[in-house]
Amino acid sequence: MTTQEYISSGIIESYVLGLATEEERTAFEKMCDENEEVRLARDAFELSLEQKALQNAVSPPPNLRKQVLDKLENEKQPTRNISGKVQPKAPVKTLPTAVSGTKRTSYLAAASVTLLLVSVALNYYYFRQYKTYSDKYDALLVQNAEIVKNDASKQVRLDEYATAMQHLKDPGMAIIKMAAKGVASSPDPNSMATIYWDTRTKDVFLLLNNMPQPSTGKQYQLWAIVDGLPVDAGMVDMSAGLPVAEAFAVTLEDSGGSVNPHMDQLCVIGKVS
Amino acid sequence: MGNNSTHTEMELVSLLKSRDSNAFTYLYDHYSGALYSGILQIVEDAELGSDILQEVFINIWRKIDTYEPSRGRLYTWMLNIARNASIDVLRSKSFQNSKKNQSIPDNVDMLKAGSSLPDTDRIGIRKLLEQLKTDHRVLIELAYFKGYTQEEIAEIEGIPLGTVKTRIRAALTQLRTIIK
């Protein structure tokens, strides 16, 4: 390649415009040192480029001039200190970073304190909730135990009623109504009691439908009339087997009962049908 | 004339290397427009361009000791600093995001209003590009204004790396004749 060919290869423009690779630059610079013609061609291109650029100059904003020159004056300061050493620019930059670092740390600190407060508040809230529900739970446990107990006693009573019902429904059960009608000695003409007499087992059940409360020391006594004579059938709330009877009557006797009824104290009477 | 201006530039560089304030003021007054134009052709945003221009001058101040006059003119050196800074911004995440966030109609209105933003298609190297063949122009656009490497361009355009190299070289040679 002749010098002329080299000059017109585009390497000069490539180098001047900053498009050449590192290798090309090194080779070109060597060429310029060795070949005056190449160097002059480079100078010529640079000069024409510069002149074009000056012709096409665009004025920057006018206020920029003072700004730039002031900045350059500031750049001067560090070079004129006693040691004569150029102060690195870096420390000036580290200050704001340090400040912003502190800032970030304090932001983080503030954030963690906030989070802590929120956490404490939530902990308290949830503990309160826990306490409330725990208390409610205990109350429910007690209530539940009570209900179970009630239920058991009700079950017992229900069983009793069921048994009674069984007796009442039994076709072998004789029902004798005892009324106060025609009984002059009865304290209340509306008094009424009913005898349920199991004709097979001979068990006697007495139901006091409407009997006045006996005075203190007195007690109702049930009598069965067998063969025209009254037989003690027990104090009310007491029942004993009775093989046969024509009628039943209730008298008011002294507590503990009497061997023979005071017929003047007859309250209700009913015939076995 | 060439000799004279080189001498002047040598004096200027020597003053700049001693961090002479007046030399930097002269540098700004003389070159800020050319560099600003070069920046705008890449970032196409007046405000962003101003920020980059300021950064470029600070970098010139800091790096002036590394400038090697035997390797090229001062302007060429500064233009490369400006181009690199612009492409860095172009490729930065925040710039990409701001581009994405701009809706297309807004963008068009902004360009139409164009108060502070000059028509960058009409200036500098972009203007020169118009005179290139389309397939050449696209490659220069990608290489110079977007800062892609030739390998990246080959991938983007789906053409062999060798073709990319040949076309860029051809386009650059043409560019020189146009500039002259």
Residue B118 in any domain: the answer is: no
Do B28 and B59 belong to one domain? Answer: yes
User: Which of A18, A53, A68 comes nearest B80 by C-beta?
Assistant: A18
Do B101 and B52 belong to one domain? Answer: yes
Of B60, B84, B108, which residue constitutes the final position of a domain?
B108
Do B88 and B9 belong to one domain? Answer: yes
User: Which of A14, A50, A73 comes nearest B75 by C-beta?
Assistant: A50
Say what the pLDDT of residue B178 is: 79
Q: Do A75 and B21 make contact, defined as CB atoms within 8 angstroms?
A: no
Cβ contact B26:B11 at 8 Å: no
CB contacts under 8 A, B 139-158 vs A, are 143-144, 150
Residue A261: closest CA among A224, A214, A236: A224
Number of domains present in the structure of chain B: 2
Say what the pLDDT of residue B102 is: 54
**CATH number, domain containing residue B165:** 1.10.10.10
Distances in Å between the alpha carbon of A165 and those of A155, A159, A171, A173, A198? Answer: 15, 10, 12, 11, 13
Distance CA A230, CA A252 (A): 14
* pLDDT top residue among A126 and B109: A126
What's the rounded mean pLDDT across residues A183-211? 78
Cβ-based neighbours of A205, under 8 Å, separated by 6 or more: A164, A167, A195, A196, A197, A198, A239
pLDDT at A39 over 90: yes
Considering just the CA atoms, what is the radius of gyration of chain A in Å? 63
Residue B80 in any domain: the answer is: yes
Residue B23 in any domain: the answer is: yes
B97 touches chain A (CB under 8 A): no
Distance CA B121, CA B154 (A): 25
pLDDT at B27 over 90: yes
B131 touches chain A (CB under 8 A): no
User: Which of A13, A33, A58 comes nearest B37 by C-beta?
Assistant: A58
Do B11 and B86 belong to one domain? Answer: yes
Residue B116 in any domain: the answer is: no
Residue B114 in any domain: the answer is: no
Say what the pLDDT of residue A25 is: 92
Say what the pLDDT of residue A236 is: 54
Of B83, B108, B133, which residue constitutes the final position of a domain?
B108
Q: Do A61 and B79 make contact, defined as CB atoms within 8 angstroms?
A: no
Q: Do A72 and B21 make contact, defined as CB atoms within 8 angstroms?
A: yes
pLDDT at B5 over 60: no
What's the rounded mean pLDDT across residues B58-71? 93
What's the rounded mean pLDDT across residues A156-174? 82
Say what the pLDDT of residue B63 is: 93
Lowest average pLDDT, out of A78-87, A211-220, B33-42, goes to A78-87
B87 touches chain A (CB under 8 A): no
Residue A100 pLDDT class (50, 70, 90 cuts): low
Q: Do B73 and A72 make contact, defined as CB atoms within 8 angstroms?
A: no
Residue B115 in any domain: the answer is: no
Type of residue at B165: K
Residue B60 in any domain: the answer is: yes
Of B45, B76, B108, which residue constitutes the final position of a domain?
B108
| Mutation target among A32, A40, A68 for the B interface, most CBs of B within 10 A | A68
User: Which of B2, B58, B124 comes nearest A56 by C-beta?
Assistant: B124
Do B74 and B25 belong to one domain? Answer: yes
Say what the pLDDT of residue A223 is: 81
What's the rounded mean pLDDT across residues B131-136? 82
Residue that has been written with the tokens 């004709």 in this structure = A199
Cβ-based neighbours of B141, under 8 Å, separated by 6 or more: B129
Do B48 and B76 belong to one domain? Answer: yes
3-state secondary structure of A197: strand
Do B27 and B78 belong to one domain? Answer: yes
Cβ contact A42:A9 at 8 Å: no
Q: What is the mean pLDDT of chain B?
A: 81
Q: Which domain holds residue B61?
A: 2-108
Token pair belonging to B169: 């070289």
Which tens digits make up the pLDDT trace of B52-61?
999 999 999 9
Do B132 and B165 belong to one domain? Answer: yes
Do B101 and B129 belong to one domain? Answer: no
Instruction: Residue count of chain B, please give it.
Output: 180
B89 touches chain A (CB under 8 A): no
Do B51 and B78 belong to one domain? Answer: yes
Do B6 and B86 belong to one domain? Answer: yes
Residue B36 in any domain: the answer is: yes
Most confident of A104-108, A195-199, A268-272, B37-41: B37-41
What's the rounded mean pLDDT across residues A54-78? 87
pLDDT at A224 over 90: no
Q: How far is A127 from chain B (nearest CA, A)?
A: 50
Do B172 and B92 belong to one domain? Answer: no
Q: How far is B123 from chain A (nearest CA, A)?
A: 6
Which tens digits make up the pLDDT trace of B75-104?
999 999 999 999 999 888 677 777 666 544
Task: Looking at chain B, list the stretches that DSSP marks H as alpha helix, in order from N- to C-terminal side.
Answer: 2-17, 21-43, 46-63, 74-91, 93-101, 104-113, 124-129, 134-140, 150-157, 161-179
Q: Spell out which residues of chain A touch residue B125, defining contact as CB-CB under 8 Å.
A: 17
Q: Do B54 and A71 make contact, defined as CB atoms within 8 angstroms?
A: yes
